[in-house]
Chains A and B, each alone.
Chain A
Amino acid sequence: MAKTVARIDRLMRPLHRWVWRDHDRRLRKLLAFADVETDGGRDIVRAAEVTPDPLLRRLYLEHAIDELHHGDLFRSRGAALIRERGTRTTSLFAGNPLPGGHGLDDLSIEGQPDYRLLAFLHVAEKSAAGRFEIYRQLVDDDPETRAIFETILRDEVFHMNYTYTQLTRVAPKTYRRHVWYARARRLWNRYLRVAVAIANLFGTAILTIIYFVVLPPFAWLARRAERRELPGWRPIARGGSPRSQY
C-alpha cells in the first residue's frame, strides 16, 4: 500500500503529522472526513440511479454503501473524541476545516457518461487511499482511529480496482485517456479551490476596509432611525410594483 502514496502527500507528511498530533485538529479532521465520505456516498448512489448499465448499478451501490459506512465510522470516532475532550467545546467548530477533505469535489453525475465517472472515481479513490495510508501511520498512538483507516483502506483497494476494471470494460480503447483527463481535472479543481480561497481572502479584506472606512456615517444614521422604530405590529403599505425587486 505504501507504493500508492503520492509524492505530494509524502512531501506534506510534516503538515499531516502536525494535524494528527493534536486532539482537536484530529477530531475536526475526522468529522470533516465523515461529511465528505457521506456526501461522496450520496453522489455515488445517484450514479447508481442514473446509469443504464446493470453491473455498474450494483457496483456503484456497493461502493456507495461503503462510503456511507465510512462516514458513520468517522462520525462515531469523532463523537467519541469529543466525549473524551469533555466540555471544552467553545472553539472547536470555530475554525475552518483542515485541508485534505474534498472527496469527490463537486461531482456532477447527471448526464455524465459512465467512463468519465469511473475514471474520476478511480483517480479519487487512489489518491484517498494514499493519503489514508499516511494517516494510518500517523495515528499509531490511537488504535481505534488506526483501525478505522485500516478498514477503509481495504475498501479503497476494492474501489480502485473495480473502477479501473470497469473503465477498461466500458471504454477499452480510450480508458488511459480518461484516467489522464480525470487526473487533469482534479488538478484543475485544486487550482480552482486555491484561487477561490485567495479571491475570498482579497474580497474579505476589501469589504472589511470598506466596512470600517465607508460605513460609519451610514451606521450612525441607521442606528438613529432604528431608535425611532418600535417593536410590534406595523401596518403594511399597499404592495410595490409587480415588476420591481424593491
Chain B
Amino acid sequence: MNILGISAHYHDSAAALVVDGLPVCAVQEERLSRHKNDAAFPAQAIEWCLDCAGIAPEALDAVVFYERSMLKFERILTTALRTFPRSWRSFPHAIRNTLGEKVWVRGIISSHLDVPRRKIFFTDHHAAHAAAAFFTAPTRRAAILTADGVGEWATLTAGRGERRDTDRPELTLLREVRFPHSLGLLYSTFTAYLGFTVNEDEYKVMGLAAYGRPTMIEQVGKVMRPTADGAFALDPQYFDVQTSARRSYSAKFVELFGPARNPYDPIDLESDEGRRFADCAASVQRVLEDTLVRIAAQLRRDADLPDLCLGGGVALNGVANARLLAECGFERVFVPPAPGDAGCALGAALYADRIYFGNRDRPIPDHPFWGPSIDGDALSRAATDDGLGVEIVDGGALVERVAGELAAGRIVGWMEGACEFGPRALGHRSILAAPHSSAIRDRLNRDIKRREEFRPFAPVVPIEAADRYFDLPRGGVRLARFMSGVFPVRPEWRSALAAVTHVDGSARVQVLEREMAPRLHALLDAYGRRSGIPVLLNTSFNVAGEPIVARALEGYSTFRRCGIDLLAAESVLVTKPAAAPVRAPKEEVAWSSGNVAASGAV
C-alpha cells in the first residue's frame, strides 16, 4: 500500500510517504520552500516525496491528514462562545483564518493531487503524534504520552501500544487533558512573555532556564495548578490566548510576573532584569518538568510497561525528557527525531497503515534520514565557477583531512546523504567544530549562528566513548540517539568540553552508533586520535532565521555568507581563500548611473 501522510496549516508542515508499511521518504516543507517553519500546504514536500519514490498520485492508496480540521474549528468556535463578549476582537480573525483554507482540507488535497475523495483519510492529531512515537520506536510494548499546545481539543494524552507477531498492532489512547489546559500553551505563553517567538523559540526558554533559579514556582503555581486526579488546570485569568489574536498572556499575568521582556533587547544576565527573566524561565521549566514527571509516573504505575514513547512538541524539551527517564521508573524513553507537528505526517501515514487498514507491523529503520540527498557535482561546479578551492577526496582521506582541519580550530559545514526529518541536525546537515574552548563557541555565535550568548551548543560522541565524557543514566544512550535528552558532562571533562558544556554543567548530547552515520562516526574516531577526545560540537547547518539546509547549493550559499571555513559534502571539499571576497563581483560588473536613467523608471 502507498500511503501519503500530510501535516499542514499551523506550523512546520510536512509530507511523508509510507510504502508497504515502511517510510520511504519524509520532509518538512520549510526545507524545500526555504521559509522557516513554513505552515503552508506542503505542495513541494508532497511532490518531492512522490518523485523520490517514483509514484504517481493515482498510485496512492490513501492520503492521510494529521488532524480533524472540523473538530478543530468546533474548538475555536466554542472557545469564542465561552469567552463572549471578550473574544470580539479575536473572533473575526479566528473565523477568517479557519474558514479561509483550513477547514477545506479535503478539497485542497483532492485538487492538489487529483485523488478521489474516498482515498482521503483523517486521524486525530494526538493519535498521529502517538503513532509517530510508537511505531518508529524499537519496542514491543510501551506506554505512550503525547503533549503539545493543542490538537483538536486534546493537549495531552496517555495510552499504550503493543506490537504482535501474528496480528495487527494496537495503539490505544485512553485519556486526555483538553484545551485550554495545556502544558504546551503554558510554555509558549512564557516564551512570548520572555520576548521569544512562539512555536519556534521554546528551546531558548529551556536554555535560559539554566542561568536562573526557580524562585517563582509559587507564582507559576497560581497560573497552573494540579488537579485531584493527577492532571493539571490553567487559570484562564492569566491568559489572553482565547480572547486576543495578538498576545497570549493577560494583564494579570504581567501583574504577577512583572513587565514582559522587549523582544529587541538583549538579555543581560548581569542585570536584575536579566536575572528575573532567567528565574522566570527556570520556574516554568521546573513546573513543566514536575508536572510531566507526575503524569508519567502515574502512567508507569497504571500501564505497568517498561518503555515510554513520548510525542508532541513538548517532547523536544530535553531537560524534562531526562527527568522522565531518571524519575518515572521507565527503562527506556523513546522520542522520535520529529516529535512535533511535522512528525505527524509520518505518524498519520503509519497510523492509517497499521490501524485503519490493519496491516501487520514492520520494524522501521531507526534513523532520521528521510529527506533529500545532496548532489556533490552541483556543489563542485558552483564552487569552481566562483574560484574557490575544490578538491575531490575519497572517503577515508576526506575524513582524515576534515579531522585535521577541526583539530586546527576550523569550522566545518558537513553534508552527507539524505537530510534529517525533524528539527535536529544529527550528522547529515551539521556544522562541526572542536568542542574544547569557549572561544570557538563565541565565534560560532558571532560569525555563523548569530544567536544569543546564553544558548548552548550540542556535542556528538560515539557510543563507545559516551560514558567516559557524559553521565548517562540507564536508557540515556537511547534518549540521546536523536539528541532528545540533556545529561551532565562529567565534571573532570567540563573544561576540556567548554564549548558544549552549558552553564549548569549539562549538554544535549547526541550519542552516535556507527550504523546510523558511519562517516561521521569515522570522523569522530579520527578526531579523537588527533585530539585525544572523540567529541565534536554539532550544530544545525543553517544561520539564524533560516531552515536547515537540504541541498548542496543551499549549503554552499550558507557557507559563502558566514564564517564557516570548510565545506565537506560527500567527496567534495570546498575551502575559502584566506580573505574570501564575496564582494568581488561588484568590481566585475560595469555599471553606471546612466544605466538606471536608461531604464526610465523615474
Contacts and interface: CB of A to CB of B under 8 A. Distances in A.
Interface of A: 3-6, 31, 38, 42, 45-46, 48-50, 54-55, 57-59, 61-62, 64-65, 68, 75, 78-79, 82-83, 87, 89, 93-94, 122-123, 126-127, 130, 157-158, 160-162, 164-166, 168, 176, 179, 183, 200, 203-204, 207-208, 211-212, 215-216, 218-219, 221-223, 226, 230-236, 239-240, 242-246
A55 B592 CA distance: 18
A235 B595 CA distance: 72
Interface size class of B (residues with CB under 8 A): 35 or more
B51 interface: no
A182 B593 CA distance: 20
Interface in B557-602: 557, 560-561, 582-586, 588-593, 595-602
Given A54-B382, A203-B92, A61 B174 contact: no
Contact of A219 (B82, B105, B106, B591): B82
A55 B585 contact: yes
Nearest to A180: B600
Pairs A-B, 3 closest by C-beta atoms: A219-B84, A231-B233, A161-B591
Contacts of B154: 236
B81 interface: yes
Contact of A3 (B85, B120, B602): B602
B interface secondary structure, majority: mixed
Contact of B174 (A4, A166, A235): A235
Give the residue among A78, A234, A236, A245 with the most B Cβ atoms within 10 A. A245
B301 interface: no
B595 A164 contact: yes
Contacts of B178: 234
Given A208-B92, A219-B81, 18 more contacts: A62-B583, A65-B583, A122-B601, A126-B601, A157-B596, A168-B595, A203-B92, A208-B91, A222-B84, A226-B82, A231-B181, A233-B231, A234-B177, A234-B178, A243-B118, A243-B120, A243-B122, A245-B103
Given A57-B382, A161-B595, A212 B264 contact: no
B601 A157 contact: no
Nearest to B591: A161
A165 B591 contact: yes
Contacts of A3: 597, 602
Contact of A4 (B70, B262, B591, B596): B596
B596 A161 contact: yes
Given A78-B264, A204-B92, A234-B176, A54 B81 contact: no
Contact of A235 (B70, B103, B175): B175
B252 to A, nearest CB: 15
Nearest to A87: B259
B121 interface: yes
A interface secondary structure, majority: helix
Interface of B: 34-35, 68-71, 74, 78, 80-82, 84-85, 87-88, 91-93, 95-96, 103, 105-106, 118, 120-124, 127, 154, 157, 159, 173-178, 181, 227-233, 246, 259-260, 262, 264-265, 352, 356, 382, 385-386, 545-546, 551, 553-554, 556-557, 560-561, 582-586, 588-593, 595-602
Give the residue among B69, B84, B246 with the most A Cβ atoms within 10 A. B84
Give the residue among A58, A78, A94, A200 with the most B Cβ atoms within 10 A. A58
21 contacts: A3-B602, A49-B34, A54-B382, A65-B582, A65-B583, A127-B601, A160-B596, A162-B591, A165-B590, A179-B601, A200-B96, A207-B91, A212-B85, A223-B84, A232-B228, A236-B157, A236-B159, A242-B121, A242-B122, A242-B352, A245-B68
A208 B356 CA distance: 42
B503 to A, nearest CB: 25
Contact of B69 (A48, A164, A200, A245): A245
Contacts of A123: 601
Contact of B546 (A42, A57, A78, A79): A42
B299 to A, nearest CB: 11
Contacts, number: 212
A50 B528 CA distance: 38
B265 A83 contact: yes
A61 B264 contact: no
B557 A75 contact: no
A42 B124 contact: no
Give the residue among A87, A176, A235, A243 with the most B Cβ atoms within 10 A. A243
A38 B450 CA distance: 14
Given A157-B593, A236-B174, A62 B582 contact: yes
A78 B123 CA distance: 45
Contacts of B246: 93-94
Nearest to A179: B599
B602 A244 contact: no
A226 B178 CA distance: 12
Contacts of B229: 232-233
B121 to A, nearest CB: 5
A48 B598 CA distance: 26
Given A49-B557, A94-B246, A246-B70, A208 B601 contact: no
Contacts of A216: 84
A126 to B, nearest CB: 5
B122 A165 contact: no
Contacts of B556: 49
Nearest to A224: B82
B553 A49 contact: yes
Contacts of A243: 118, 120-122
A207 to B, nearest CB: 4
A212 B88 contact: yes
B602 A233 contact: no
B588 A55 contact: yes
Given A49-B554, A55-B588, A162-B591, A244 B264 contact: no
Contacts of A50: 553
A232 B176 contact: no
Contacts of A48: 557
A233 B122 contact: no
Contacts of B175: 233-236
A233 B264 contact: no
B264 A231 contact: no
A82 B103 contact: no
Given A42-B545, A49-B553, A218-B81, A232 B177 contact: yes
Contact of A82 (B265, B551, B584): B265
B547 to A, nearest CB: 10
B193 to A, nearest CB: 13
Contacts of A212: 85, 88
